Amino acid sequence: MNYFLGVDGGGSKTYAIVVDENGKEVGHGISGSVDILNETKEEFKDHLFAAIHEALKKVDVDVKSISSACFGMPAVGDVEGIEKEITPFIEELKVSNFIVVNDVRVALEGAFPMKKGAILLAGTGAMVMAKDEKGDVSRIDGWGEHVGDLGSGYFIGQLILRRAFEEYDGRSSLTPILKMVKEFANVKELREILIHCKGSNVRKYIASFSKVACEAAKRNVEPAQEILDEAVHELVKSVKALGKIFEGEGSIPFSTAGGVFKCKYLFKKFKKEISALKNIILVEKEFEPHMGAVIMAARELLSEEKMQEFYQGLRR
């Protein structure tokens, strides 16, 4: 029996899944971030190994018996040398056959396996990725939290924190945002959170405050709604840029992934904006990103005929 390992690594969490050659899930595991640019190498290794070992608990084989694996990792293909940093840790696992790709690439494959399509992944970071009929891949944004990732969880978290700081300083009128930020951070004094907002490894922490923006918008707090409206504007700009790439090639099926779209206020506004675009067709993704990683792993080993059977198994 062949077993395939798929890893969807992100800036907030890592999801590992093991699937047999019939497309049946036999185990999965979840752990923390494997963003090697924002985690120490020790944290990266601990989180990666924890998710994989948890996924393997229910399988009567060890990691050495995995036939093929695909690791979707942040910054791969974006920052030179990242793959070389990541690969030695994967090699420690003793997986005989594996590939390392960008985490948005596995989300794209999950949404549109073996066919044309595009996805906007907006979680801690944000990127649009698309593939044409030939499988050629295009990408938009994903420039990182300091200069890009517009509309991402980090983008929203940064703006809501900025608003809370302005209210604290008296530079903006007082709203529920200040109190909500303090409650979310579990602090009595706002300056207590500064230690978490400076230095390295702050990306995930700041992005987590996007939940405050979403909750405040649900309560009709106007500044929070304005922040989410700005995020929608930036995300739609990326999708419009995608439309230009495929201009003259007919419509392109498009889907979304990532925690940002769990915010009902934001997603409702986003869908309305996207529906007005002529060559972008918003559809449900077929599989989640971790399944895209499994599909890419299986494709390294299985024939086209076997892959069709594999897909049918995944759909059951």
pLDDT tens for the chain, 316 residues long, are: 888 999 999 877 899 999 988 888 888 999 998 887 877 888 888 999 999 989 988 777 777 788 899 999 988 887 788 888 888 888 888 888 899 999 899 999 999 998 899 999 999 999 999 998 888 899 999 888 889 999 999 999 999 999 999 999 999 999 999 999 999 999 999 999 988 888 766 888 999 999 999 999 999 999 999 999 999 999 999 999 998 888 877 889 999 999 999 999 999 999 999 999 988 999 999 999 999 999 999 989 888 888 888 888 888 7
What DSSP character marks residue 98? E
Q: What is the CATH number of domain 116-285?
A: 3.30.420.40
Q: How far apart are CA 74 and CA 284, in angstroms?
A: 23
List 31's β-bridge partners, or say none: 14
> Smallest Cα–Cα separation from 139: which of 153, 126, 150?
126
Q: How far apart are CA 167 and CA 277, in angstroms?
A: 37
CB contact at 8 A, 186 and 212 = no
> Smallest Cα–Cα separation from 107: which of 239, 283, 288, 281?
288
Per CATH, the homologous superfamily of domain 3-113+287-315 is: ATPase, nucleotide binding domain (3.30.420.40)
Helical axes 222-245 vs 210-218, angle rounded to 10°: 110
> Smallest Cα–Cα separation from 126: which of 83, 156, 84, 99?
156
- Residue ranges covered by each domain of the chain: 3-113+287-315, 116-285
User: Rounded to two decimals, what is the model's pTM?
Assistant: 0.85
Question: 237, exposed or middle or buried, with CB in 10 Å at 0-12, 13-18, 19+?
Answer: middle
